[in-house]
Chains A and B, each alone.
Chain A
Amino acid sequence: NAGVTQTPKFQVLKTGQSMTLQCAQDMNHNSMYWYRQDPGMGLRLIYYSASEGTTDKGEVPNGYNVSRLNKREFSLRLESAAPSQTSVYFCASSESKGGSYEQYFGPGTRLTVT
């Protein structure tokens, strides 16, 4: 049981390049999320998917696209990377459990755009 996995762990891009960050969870969670974390800014929600087949914008969606490929996988794409997208990206998944909720995070992807 790996929980939430993300690939790659590190990536360096040049301005204008594109890439896709991959996320998968094996907890059978319905909801999945992409966040970015910058110093002093906390975690900011980029996109989320409340269930398979749906996606919604968060606080900072500009410059990103997402795909909820199936219940397990939720990918984040940068079509034309910009230095402002240098950040640590976290994927998370959540589900109700016994009247409560749980949300777990992946290990993160450190992205640098030069």
Chain B
Amino acid sequence: QKEVEQNSGPLSVPEGAIASLNCTYSDRGSQSFFWYRQYSGKSPELIMFIYSNGDKEDGRFTAQLNKASQYVSLLIRDSQPSDSATYLCAGFSGGYQKVTFGTGTKLQVIP
């Protein structure tokens, strides 16, 4: 079992809607997380880093971390067709500086 699990999708949402992407983790050593966006054929782009329980907002993106339930999510408000990409969740073990990724969720925003 991978340490970080994501539904591969695709997740389809209409333009302007809220897209909700989820990630669960099994390694309690991973107490903080990165969210990345990756367009086809490109390298991952950092969206956000979250380490505290609760919400963290950056523009149209909100990351949510629930350590008791071992899940982390990413909400994208006012989704745009340009948000169509694969979204990667990664667990970060600060003590070891180790970063491990889920397999990613493909998001399709329909105009």
Could you tell me which A residues sit within 8 Å of B by CB distance? 30-31, 33, 35, 40-45, 48, 50-51, 56, 58-59, 90, 92, 94, 100-108
Q: Are A42 and B99 in contact (CB under 8 A)?
A: no
CB neighbours (8 Å) of A45 from chain B are 98-101
Flag whether B103 is at the interface (Cβ < 8 A).
yes
Chain A residues whose CB sits within 8 angstroms of the CB of B71 once the complex forms: none
Q: Chain A's interface: helix, strand, loop or mixed, by majority?
A: strand
A30–B34 alpha-carbon span in the complex (Å): 18
Q: A43 vs B90: C-alpha distance in the bound complex, in angstroms?
A: 9
Query: Chain B interface residue count: which class?
Result: 20 to 34
Inter-chain contact B8/A40, CB cutoff 8 Å: yes
Stretch at the interface among B13-21, B43-51, B74-82: B43-51
CB contacts (< 8 Å) of B102 on chain A: these are: 42
